[in-house]
Amino acid sequence: MTYLIVHLIHIFAVMIYGGFLFTDNLFMAKMGRSLDKDESIKCREAIMEHVRKIVPKALIVAVASGIYLFTQVFGEIGEDGLSAFQKVLLLKAFLGGWLGLRGVLQVFFKIQPLVFKSHKFPFFLVIIIIFLSQVMHYVS
């Protein structure tokens, strides 16, 4: 039962984080086409004021719950080494952990990333993670 509850919390937190990245990259980035520059900046900042209160916390919840889920499903390493499932899960966990570390450093410690300053790279990582989560059960 604990696994199910943590899994649902994880999915909800990922939806918040991924939903923000989706919205930011596909819609908010294009506000300048409909609004003049000052309006676009003002509108984006009004939205980001609220985003900064929720999305970083959702990212922390997604990473923490992901770590728990990882420990529950990874399993033992067989005599032949890692299974295909375990390899895909490790890749998924690495990418999620990288996003989490980047988010914690940026939001809570104000350390700006040296590269990938936009939300495009995290957006693509989230898409890759979602893809991996859907195929990892079929690669075994």
Q: Among 34-38, 125-129, 131-135, which stretch is predicted with the lowest mean pLDDT? A: 34-38
Average pLDDT over residues 108-117: 71
* Calpha distance 106→41 (Å, rounded): 21
- Residue 93 pLDDT more than 70? yes
- Residue 108 pLDDT more than 90? no
- Residue 52 pLDDT more than 80? yes
- Intra-chain end-to-end CA distance of the chain, in Å: 25
* Position 115 confidence tier, pLDDT thresholds 50, 70, 90: low
pLDDT at position 67 is 95
Angle subtended at Cα 102 by Cα 99 and Cα 105, rounded to the nearest 5 degrees: 145
Are 57 and 9 spatial neighbours (Cβ–Cβ below 8 Å)? Answer: no
Average pLDDT over residues 46-54: 90
pLDDT at position 103 is 80
- Residue 70 pLDDT more than 90? yes
Output 5 or 113, whichever has higher pLDDT. Answer: 5
The SS3 assignment for 80 reads coil
The SS3 assignment for 9 reads helix
C-alpha torsion sign, points 88, 89, 95, 98: negative
Average pLDDT over residues 75-79: 89
pLDDT at position 116 is 61
Average pLDDT over residues 6-28: 93
Q: What is the pTM of this model?
A: 0.84
Average pLDDT score over the chain: 89
Phi first, then psi: give them for residue 136, nearest 5 degrees.
-65, -25
